[in-house]
Homo-oligomer: A and B are copies of this chain.
Amino acid sequence: MPETVENGLQRLILDTARQLLTTTGYAQLSMRNIAKTIGYSATSIYLYFENKDELVHALIDEGVDLLYERLVEANDSCAVPQDRLLAMCRAYVSFGLERPEYYEIMYVLHPEYIKRYPAEKYRKARKNLELIGAAIEGGRVHGPSADMDSFLAANLVWTQLHGVVTLLSSERVDKRIDPDQLIEGAYQHILRSLGIRDLGISDEVVEKRS
């Protein structure tokens, strides 16, 4: 039984896994399901991936790249440095809500269910945060957190966005709350706290009073 493309059952497995993940979700992503859809036995997957974790890690890798692309695109679409952070926040939330299956395996799945993402791959994931950190650094004008190091600030932004994405896509947010309002509120929250100029609304100045 040859494969669809030149030399690559591994590729076929990964493609099928991705397709299964994005269409039916992680809960339905089983070794036997993958095998069934490509007409192989479940154990044949183990010839190309050590275990399910490694297979999922490959998908996480893809997700990290996908997110990275979106963040770079958002970054490049802004001429003014001050707009970059907001654009990247939008890109992050869009990714999280539009690709919930990717987001789940990347940032939601409990370490008990899936082994830690390997350290060397972890670096690439960190690049995403550093991109945000750079946008903060570049857009910083004034504000009370001007002294805070930008990597910490990036993580702070990340936690806020992550909270919005996860609570919204798990449908835990009250139905009376308008998702868009919550999302936009989070952006304002972030920009204001970091002392980056607000959009549309008039600029604000934060002064210290003895």
Residues of A within 8 A of B (CB): 25-27, 104, 107-108, 110-113, 116, 126, 129, 144-145, 148, 151-153, 155-156, 158-164, 166-167, 170-174, 176-177, 181-182, 185-186, 188-189, 192-193, 198, 201-210
Contacts and interface: CB of A to CB of B under 8 A. Distances in A.
Given A151-B177, A192-B144, A167 B159 contact: yes
A113 B162 CA distance: 20
Q: How many copies does the complex hold?
A: 2
Contacts of A173: 155
Given A110-B108, A148-B185, A204-B206, A167 B158 contact: yes
A156 to B, nearest CB: 5
Contacts of A182: 152, 155-156, 159
Q: Which 10 A-B pairs have the closest CB atoms?
A: A163-B163, A159-B163, A162-B163, A27-B112, A159-B164, A189-B193, A160-B160, A156-B185, A193-B193, A155-B177
Contacts of A162: 163, 166-167
Contacts of A171: 111, 116
